[in-house]
Amino acid sequence: MYINPDLFVNMNTENNWPDMPDPGNYQLSKNVHNICRYQTVASDMQHRSTTSRLYVHIDMNCFYAQVEQLCYNLYGMPVAVGGWRKEDGTVKGIVATSSYEARALGVETAMSALEAYKLCPYIVFKQVDYEKYRAYSKRIKRVLDTFSPDVEAYSLDEFFMDITWKKGESPEELEAFGTNIKKAILEETKLYCSVGISTSKTYSKLASDMNKPDGLTVLVEEDKIKEHIWPLKLDNVWGIGRRRFQKIEGRGISTIGEAIEEGYQKFQTLFGDYFGKMLWRTVAGEDRAKVDDDTNYVPERVSYGHTFSTWTEDPWQVGGEFAKAVKQVCYRMRGYGKKADKFFGTVRFQGTEKEGFSFSFRTPGLTNLDDYVLHSCLEKVMPLLYACKKRGKQFRSIMLGTTELHMTDQTELFFQENPKLQRLHKAMDYINNRFGMETIDHGISKLEVKGHTHFKDRSM
C-alpha cells in the first residue's frame, strides 16, 4: 500500500483525526544482522561481585544450513545458504553459511556462489529465510528457559546461560547437564548443537567450538583450562580482530596463555588503561559478564546495507534503495526512542576492485522521521550518482547509517519536527507493526533495483 503524506499532513489534526493508538511492538530485529557486542569488555555488562561464576554457551551448528536440511530433507547433501540459480542455471549470490558436507569440500562463508559451484557443481543453494530461522530460534530459547532462569539469546543461533547455582558440581555432573540440554533441543527441533561449559562467558564460547559438530566440552578445572584454552590464538577471543591481533602479536604475544603470563600492562599500552585491562581480563577468563536478554539494549548507532543481485546504471533505482534504507533506519530509531541529525552513506561500484564512494549529510535537526532524512539524503547523493554514471560506473550496493543517537525528548532551539508528520509516522508504524513492514511504504521505493538477493524476503 502506498499513501500520499499530504493527505495526512494537510488535515486539521485537532478536529479531524482521533487520537492514534500506541504503535505497538517494533520489529527491531527484522532485516538486521546481529553484530556481536563486546559484552565482556564493558563495565555496565559486568557483575559487581567478584564471585566466580559458571556459564554455558550453546551454538547451533551451521544453523541456517541445518534448518534448510531439515525442512527440505537434504541430509547428507552439501548445502549453501545465500545463493540461487538463474533460469539458465547460472549461480548468483554470496554464501552466508554452509553445511558441514559443503565445508568439507572447501565451501566457506562469504565465498561467492560461483566459487562454491566450481568446488561442488551439485551443491544445493537456498536463499536466506530469516523468518524461518527466527521461528526455530524462539523454540530453542523456550527450551533453554526450562534449564535456567538466566538465558541470553546472543544471536539467532547462539545462547548463553548463567548456571552459577551449579558451582561445586563435578565435571561429570556438568557434562550430564549439558547432555540434557542437547537432548531437549534435539527432541523439540530435530536440530543439533554444540555446548561449552566454563568459568567465564568467553571461555564457555571457546569451549563450545572445540568439538563441533554436536559437541560437548566442560572446562571448569584449572589444569583443563590451561591444557585446552591457553594454547589458542588470541584472535579467537571476543574483541580481538585482525588489527588488534597484529598489534598484540607485534609485542611477541600470540596465544591466550602467553597473554596471561605476560600480564595486562602491554594490553594497556596498546589499547588504553581501561579498555586494555578489561580486554586482558576477558582473555584471562577473569570477566564476570552478565547474561543479559537484551530487553533494554539500545545500540549506539543504527545502519542498514543491501547488495543488489545484479548491478544498475540508473541513479534513481539506487535512490529507491536509499529510500528503503531510510525507512529501516528511521523505523528502528523510533522503536528505540532515539533521533539523529548526522548520517553517513556508501555506494559500491560493480567490479572486482570494490571501488565506490562515501558521503555524509545532516538533517535540519534531530529527527527520526523519514521525510527529513530522505530529503537530505537524496539531495546529497543524487548528484554524486549522476556524476559517477557519466564516468561509466555501475552500482552494486548501498549502506546508510547514523553516526550517533540522541534521546527523543532532547529539545532544540532552531528546529522542531512537524507534529502532523509525527502523527503520520505514528499511524504508519501502527499499521506496519500490526500487518507487516511492507504494508505502507515510500512511493520512491518502487524504483528499487529489481532482482533476487540471498535474502528470500527481498527477492522479486
Domain residue spans in the chain?
63-129, 230-290, 298-458
Planar angle of CA 350, 351, 352, nearest 5 degrees:
145
| β-strands 216-219, 193-198 pairing | parallel
The SS3 call for residue 341 is: strand
Nearest-CA neighbor of 151 among 217, 50, 56? 56
What does the pLDDT average to over 371-379? 95
Angle between helices 419-435 and 315-336 (to 10 degrees): 90
* Contact of 267 with 253, CB cutoff 8 Å: no
Fold of the 63-129 domain? MutS, DNA mismatch repair protein, domain I (3.40.1170)
pLDDT for position 451: 63
* Domain 298-458 belongs in CATH node 3.40.1160.10: no
The CATH number that domain 230-290 falls under is 1.10.150.20
Q: Alpha-carbon distance 20 to 195, whole Å?
A: 47
Residue 279 has pLDDT above 80, yes or no: yes
Q: 318-372 pLDDT, tens per residue?
A: 999 999 999 999 999 999 999 999 999 999 998 877 799 999 999 999 999 999 9
pLDDT for position 295: 58
Q: Bigger pLDDT: 447 or 43?
A: 447
Task: Return the half-sphere exposure (C-beta side, CA atoms, 13 A cut-off) of residue 430.
Answer: 11
pLDDT for position 257: 96
Residue 17 has pLDDT above 60, yes or no: no
Q: What is the mean pLDDT of the chain?
A: 86
Q: 391-447 pLDDT, tens per residue?
A: 999 999 999 999 888 887 766 677 888 999 988 888 888 888 888 777 877 777 677
Active site residues: 158
Share of the chain above pLDDT 70, in %: 87
Q: Alpha-carbon distance 360 to 242, whole Å?
A: 27
- Long-range contacts of 137-142, Cβ-Cβ distance < 8 Å, separation of 24 or more: 139/188, 139/189, 140/58, 140/60, 140/185, 140/188, 140/189, 140/191, 142/188
Domains 230-290 and 298-458 alike in fold: no
Burial classification of residue 43, based on how many CB atoms lie within 10 Å of its CB (0-12 exposed, 13-18 middle, 19 or more buried): exposed
